[in-house]
C-alpha cells in the first residue's frame, strides 16, 4: 500500500483493478476514489467479491464496477439523502442504489461528497438499518 498526493492509503489491488479499465473509466473512478477519501480520513479501501474495489468505514460506503459502457458507483445505503439527485439507479432497491456514469457525463463531486458523508454518518450510527429502525419508532 502507498500514499497518494491526497495522503490516503491506497490498496494496490484497487490500483490494479482501475488500471484494467478504459482511460475514461479510470478517470471517473479516480475522482470517486479521491472524493470518498475526502469524505473522511478513516475510509479504507479493499477488494470484495473477488475483484471489485470497495470503500469502507464502519460498513460499506460504496463500490466501483466498470462495465462495457459505464461505471457503476454502488452506494450501500438506501436511505442516505440525495438532495442533488445524482443517484440514477436502484431507487426501489432494499439495500443499495447506484450512480451510473457514462463517458462524457458530468459527475457532481460536491454532491457525491455530501452523499458519502451521509452514508458514513449512518454507518457510524450503527448502519442504515439501525438508523431506519430508530426513525420508524414513534
In this predicted model, what pLDDT tens digit does every residue of 58-105 receive, in sequence order? 999 999 999 999 999 999 999 999 999 999 999 989 899 999 999 999
**Residue 38 dihedral angles phi and psi, to the nearest 5°:** -65, -30
**If we measure between CA atoms, which residue out of 23, 117, 5, 135 comes closest to residue 62?**
117
Q: What percent of the chain has pLDDT over 70?
A: 96
pTM beyond 0.85, yes or no? yes
Count helices and strands in the chain by DSSP H and E runs: 4, 7
All three cell numbers of 35, joined, read 472524493
pLDDT of residue 137: 78
All three cell numbers of 63, joined, read 463500490
For the chain, list the domains and their CATH numbers. Answer: 2-136 (3.90.1150.200)
Query: Does pLDDT of 29 surpass 90?
Result: yes
Burial letters 17-38, b for 16+ CB under 10 A, else e: bbeebeeebbebbeebbbbbbb
The residue among 4 and 42 whose pLDDT is bigger is 42
pLDDT of residue 136: 84
Query: Does pLDDT of 33 surpass 70?
Result: yes
Amino acid at each position: 500500500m502507498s500514499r497518494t498526493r491526497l495522503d490516503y492509503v491506497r490498496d494496490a489491488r484497487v490500483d490494479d483493478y482501475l488500471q484494467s479499465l478504459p482511460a475514461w473509466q479510470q478517470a471517473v473512478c479516480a475522482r470517486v476514489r479521491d472524493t470518498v477519501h475526502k469524505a473522511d480520513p478513516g475510509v479504507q479501501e479493499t477488494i470484495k467479491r473477488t475483484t471489485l474495489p470497495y470503500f469502507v468505514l464502519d460498513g460499506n460506503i460504496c463500490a466501483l464496477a466498470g462495465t462495457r459502457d459505464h461505471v457503476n458507483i454502488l452506494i450501500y445505503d438506501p436511505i442516505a439523502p440525495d438532495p442533488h439527485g445524482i443517484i440514477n439507479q436502484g431507487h426501489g432497491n432494499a439495500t443499495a442504489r447506484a450512480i451510473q456514469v457514462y463517458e462524457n457525463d458530468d459527475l457532481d463531486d460536491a454532491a457525491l461528497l455530501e452523499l458519502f458523508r451521509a452514508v458514513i454518518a449512518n454507518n457510524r450510527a450503527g448502519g442504515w438499518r439501525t438508523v431506519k429502525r430508530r426513525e420508524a419508532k414513534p
